[in-house]
Chains A and B, each alone.
Chain A
Amino acid sequence: MLKTSPFHSRTAPLVRAQTWRRWAGYQMASAYDPHPDREYASIRNAAALLDVSPLYKYRLTGRDASRLLDRMITRDMTKLAVKQVYYTPWCDAAGKVIDDGTVSRLSETDYRLTSADSSLRWLHMNAAGMEVGIEDVSERLGALSLQGPLARAILEQISPADFGTLKYFRLVETTIRGLPVTISRTGYTGDLGYEIWVEPPEAGALWDALIEAGRPYGITPAGVWALDIARIEAGLIMLDVDYFSSHHALIEARKSSPYEINLGWAVSAAKGPFNGRRALAAERARGPAWGFVGLEVDWSSFERLFAAHHLPPQLSSIAWRSSAPVYQSGGQAGAQVGYATSGCWSPLLKKSLALAHLSAPHFAPGTAVELEITVEHRRERARATVCKLPFFDPERKKA
């Protein structure tokens, strides 16, 4: 039996087409409406309300909490201010990524870590000899993500916090209609947005308050299908879809370093000892073997492949999450230079997008490649161009 989230009593009646999926052992909505278009549109147009409770959450307290995290993650914990949030990967000793998530500094000695996968054992292993409390609070904390250009306007109706001064990747402990919550200006959509953390007994009331205050602003409950398109547009990577945890990879080839999944920016070159430091320094020096980049599919080439069968191009309103070979440009003779791991039709950018792993030197922006697609049961190659991520980066995200 799958677990249900603290918001289940509110979300379940809304899942009209019974389009459920599993996410970290939870039963979660793929979409609420039979058609996910409007849920996606609300992320870019108004405000979407997403239940992200299945994230793993840990509370780390005590004198050495910061030291533990500093040993674990690739970013420099000594620079994380109180009420600030980091997005960061963490690696094994070989510099291969185990998982990625956020670290929030709630107070001097109180931290919250979120991760896609269970991290309890890894935390304990790294905490050897340290004075730190490690608590799995995954089931003691519900989380809602309010994402979209009107997210702030909605929160301002129901919370006394000053959202004008709450900067990107900062958090505030406050209330929503009197319910104690933590609100961080974070998200997985690349848009203006917030994540709201609440204790389960208060979850239903929080949902109701947001829906009620958000109605005049077009608030729309949205499922994972909508989120998936937004996160691809935002160039945000997903564990078990775009890369494998080095702890789970059955073969070496499935492991990636932060540099190979476009997270090199999150590796501190200056900080003290941490897991993977030596390996990552060496990789930085020689340059990574792989790059993780965006691909924009060339429309006319795409259209031609369908026109050959007298068909208009077929586009799905759901993102794909299966591996597709990427070839060097040059027709059927081109050698394979990598693979795409997820992609979608972007209703906003009016482009077919993909996230891809390409071997050096093929990941330079502007490189022409070919992406394998299936048209009328046949494997075809559509022209595509390598581009830098994110595909979509609106000013309002950080403004």
Chain B
Amino acid sequence: MSAPRYDAIVVGGGHNGLIAAAYLARAGRRTLVLERRPMVGGATVTEEIFPGFKFSVFSYVVSLLRPEIIRDLDLPRHGLQILPLESTITPLDNGDYLGSWADPDETRRELCRHSPRDADATVLFGRLMHHMAMAVKPILGMVPPDPASLAPSNLAGLLELGGHFRSLGAERFHALHKLMTMASADYLDEWFEFGPLKATKSASGIIGTFLGPRSPGSAYVLLHHYMGEIDGAFRAWGFQKGGTGGISETIARAARSFGAEIRTSAAVERVTLRGNQVTGVALASGEEIAADLVVSALDPRLTFTRLVDPKALPDDLVEGVRRYKFRGSSGKVNLALSGLPDFTCLPGPGPHLRGAISISPSIEYLERAYDDAKYGEFSRQPYMDIVIPSMIDPGMAPPGRHVMSIFVQYAPYHLNGGWTDAKREAFGDTVVKTLARYAPNIESLILHRQVLTPADIERITGLSEGNIFQGELALQQLFFLRPVPKWARYRTPIRGYWQCGAGTHPGGGIMGASGRLAAREILGARR
């Protein structure tokens, strides 16, 4: 038999799969990426759903793309171009708004309009969160050590981690503990008084999870926001020119430049095994491709129960994957618009349309939106994070026309009676109606509407239960517990079979860290 053509096959051409492939190829491994859809990117894609209008269909901003990946893979040379997203406004029910602008003086003056006390508190809160983010940041670049294991490789990591936390000092360690355990609304109550400010800040703590702002554990996710601000120095936060698909294409070009091959419209049916050793993959087309190393960039459910027969795996792993929570809680509405929305609180065109628009008027509003979801319905008045990408990159829509991206929460995957076409349209109507309360002309501008429920996200991207992070970013399934205890170091019990998606540490967002760390572990492992 002739030797396999490939040293490694990556299943799934999302950004983490592509990053893992790029690192493997850079290290000289003959690497093949297999992507089921006709384009790379997974949930990081730009598609022209309506002629002339380009949608960042799923993910819509770059948040935490790791600076070391940008440098290692020389992404700017391959087309990375992150444009500034400078402001956030929160329209209020009384016709006013709360704004946060690129200039700190303008932001401060704006906040003083609502609460001079909060304007001062913001500075001190920002400093604390800076320290918290600095404390947690090294963890993003670390293969998680298992505190229950005394294996030498673990011990080194644990010692490093222990030393790191000791260096924080008591005060910051206690603050970190609170952040790790509290509800985001309670945590923010300790600092601020102005409701819309707390609501808008807490919103970043609920994105992608099935938690409300009053659910314990939601405070931790706030930190991710501030992590972006530290890397703000590196300006890794913003909007990719051409939409988020531009990021995937950039990484794909980098991977190809190192020699990786990428095949689209190539769905992998299963991973082939001989005993406990990987031998390659079998495609849905019947084709088999041999390789001693297969890396799954898919989520843990697909990695451990679809690509391989769970019978080949230890019971506790299979049980852990069964318990791992997906519970998609968000949807997406993408609009092609004939003109710009006119917000009652800030009429006419203006700089606010170049930033984020957050529909989060109060904590109660967000908690009520969660209440609906708890009982199996989509929010009657949902939280929405809106951007108008064509205001930042004019190439996203024909001149004078616009695209609008609306991230919507909550839309539970497990909807009472299940998702149907009628329910999807009702959900889309709810989103537009909610927005129309603040921008009454929106309905008259819509040329095309794309509504994506968690069921649609699952159907199109394959993400189980439509969870955008390949599983909730909840404390019980982070770090050495992601995706399951004992298997948080990108390995699997099957020789040559690895995992690298957002379902592994450190999780989701267009961060790429799991793809990089997995490749590093693979390259460091004895063959």
A residues with CB within 8 A of B: 17, 33-35, 37-38, 41, 44-46, 150, 153, 215-218, 299, 310, 312-315, 347-351
Contact = CB atoms under 8 A, between A and B. Distances in A.
B136 to A, nearest CB: 13
B393 interface: yes
B394 A35 contact: no
A350 B76 contact: yes
Nearest to A41: B83
Mostly helix, strand, loop or mixed at chain A's interface?
loop
Contacts of A17: 103
18 contacts: A17-B103, A34-B106, A35-B102, A37-B84, A37-B102, A38-B84, A38-B86, A41-B84, A45-B241, A150-B394, A150-B395, A218-B392, A218-B393, A299-B67, A312-B134, A313-B233, A315-B234, A347-B82
A218 B103 contact: no
A34 B105 contact: yes
B399 A313 contact: no
B394 A217 contact: yes
B394 A33 contact: no
A33 B102 contact: yes
Contacts of B102: 33-35, 37-38
A247 B235 CA distance: 42
A329 to B, nearest CB: 20
A37 B103 CA distance: 11
A79 B106 CA distance: 54
Contacts of A299: 67, 71
Interface in B80-112: 80-84, 86, 102-103, 105-106
A214 to B, nearest CB: 10
B446 interface: no
Contact of A315 (B84, B106, B233, B354): B233
B158 interface: no
B86 A217 contact: no
Interface in B231-270: 231, 233-235, 241
B103 to A, nearest CB: 4
A364 to B, nearest CB: 22
Scoring B134, B235, B400 by chain A CB atoms within 10 A of each residue's CB, the highest score goes to B235
A34 B108 CA distance: 14
Scoring B82, B233, B395 by chain A CB atoms within 10 A of each residue's CB, the highest score goes to B233
A350 B394 contact: no
Given A38-B84, A312-B230, A350-B235, A216 B103 contact: no
Given A45-B81, A45-B241, A314 B233 contact: yes
A45 B105 contact: no
A130 to B, nearest CB: 49
Interface in B392-441: 392-395, 399-400
B318 interface: no
A45 B393 contact: yes
A45 B71 CA distance: 21
Contact of B394 (A38, A46, A351): A46
B39 interface: no
Interface in B45-97: 67, 70-71, 75-76, 80-84, 86
A315 B391 CA distance: 26
A41 to B, nearest CB: 5
A216 B84 contact: no
Nearest to B241: A45
Contacts of A37: 84, 86, 102
